[in-house]
Amino acid sequence: MIDTGYGREDEVRSTRPSTRLSGHSATILSWGAIILILLLAGACARQPRVTTEAPAPETERSRAGFTIQVGAFRDLGNAVRLARSLTEFGLNVYYFKHESGLYKVRFGDFSDRSSAEEMAERARARGVIAEFYIVSPETLAVAKEPELGTGYLRNEIVIRAESFLGIPYQWGGTTPENGFDCSGLTMAVYNLVGLNLPRTSHAQFFTGTHVSEGQLGRGDLVFFRTSNSQRVTHVGIYTGGESFIHAPGKDKRIRVDSLNSSYFRPRFAGARTFLK
């Protein structure tokens, strides 16, 4: 419960002359006041508590820099193990299913190619990786948005999200030993198209631009309150037709669900767009 900060009301003394009532009249007024207070208290108690979080202000979206791509595995477990060994560098690491069907690993967000190469060489010198490939931001989908339009970028986000379908989910985030949590999934998908997102679902909810449910577009993020509190705790990627892709929970796989399901409809908290 939120502390409103209100304490006991200070005593207020009137400077107006008092008017003395007869004992009978005073008794009637006292009982009347008590009944009125009880009625008002009951009416307030019956009203549902409504807690809303203010829409996020429009923020400048952050584009990803140079990233390092390593590995090409048929077995997801091998990609997980490689990513685990890379986390010691303190970088955001995620694995994904490449269009070739192989699992690959990416990490880092560097402002220039030389910084990315330096980090990759450090990892190679320690025997963590062998070959690597520097991914330039100019090759990512967001760089093609001015030419091909926002519709193209939205479709690319959904295509990337669909490539994660069926990957096992484990609570914990982008740390490889734990797999993807809901915000780790959205962060990885957006990074693959060239956009950076904050790490947690709550932080993602308070960035980007508020969008009403009726104006949702493919690739926008949808948020939910899945705990007993009013805090946003879950996020997914809207794919159109009232559907979204998300990492649902421990021991489950990344999948598609409906905004209108009996579980998610009452827990829907709002949506944000990071697209123009």
Catalytic residue among 24, 44, 98, 182: 182
Please tell me the predicted confidence (pLDDT) of residue 114.
97
For residues 267 and 223, what is the distance between their CA atoms, to the nearest angstrom?
Answer: 9
Judge whether 182 counts as a catalytic residue: yes
For residues 232 and 224, what is the distance between their CA atoms, to the nearest angstrom?
Answer: 6
Please tell me the predicted confidence (pLDDT) of residue 194.
96
3-state secondary structure of 50: coil
DSSP 73: E
Whether 63 contacts 137, CB under 8 Å = yes
Residue entry with tokens 């709550």: 202
For residues 274 and 204, what is the distance between their CA atoms, to the nearest angstrom?
Answer: 10
Judge whether 234 counts as a catalytic residue: yes
Catalytic residue among 24, 44, 202, 234: 234
pLDDT in tens, 40-56: 333 323 233 333 444 44
The answer on pLDDT for 266 being more than 90 is yes
Within 10 angstroms of residue 33's Cβ, the number of other Cβ atoms is: 10
For residues 175 and 148, what is the distance between their CA atoms, to the nearest angstrom?
Answer: 34
Task: Give 208's pLDDT tier (boundaries 50, 70, 90).
Answer: confident
For residues 204 and 39, what is the distance between their CA atoms, to the nearest angstrom?
Answer: 43
Q: State the average pLDDT over residues 5-12.
A: 27
- Residue 226 token pair: 């899945």
Find the DSSP H helices in the chain. 23-46, 76-86, 113-125, 145-148, 150-162, 182-193, 201-205
The answer on pLDDT for 39 being more than 70 is no
For residues 127 and 5, what is the distance between their CA atoms, to the nearest angstrom?
Answer: 57
Positive or negative torsion for Cα 96, 98, 103, 104: negative
Q: What percent of the chain has pLDDT over 90?
A: 54
Domains of the chain from N-terminus onward:
62-273 (3.90.1720.10)
Q: In what order do the strands lie in the sheet with 133-135?
A: 93-97, 103-110, 66-73, 133-135
Judge whether 44 counts as a catalytic residue: no
Whether 237 contacts 157, CB under 8 Å = yes
Q: What percent of the chain has pLDDT over 70?
A: 74
Q: Which amino acid is at 255?
A: R
For residues 42 and 156, what is the distance between their CA atoms, to the nearest angstrom?
Answer: 54
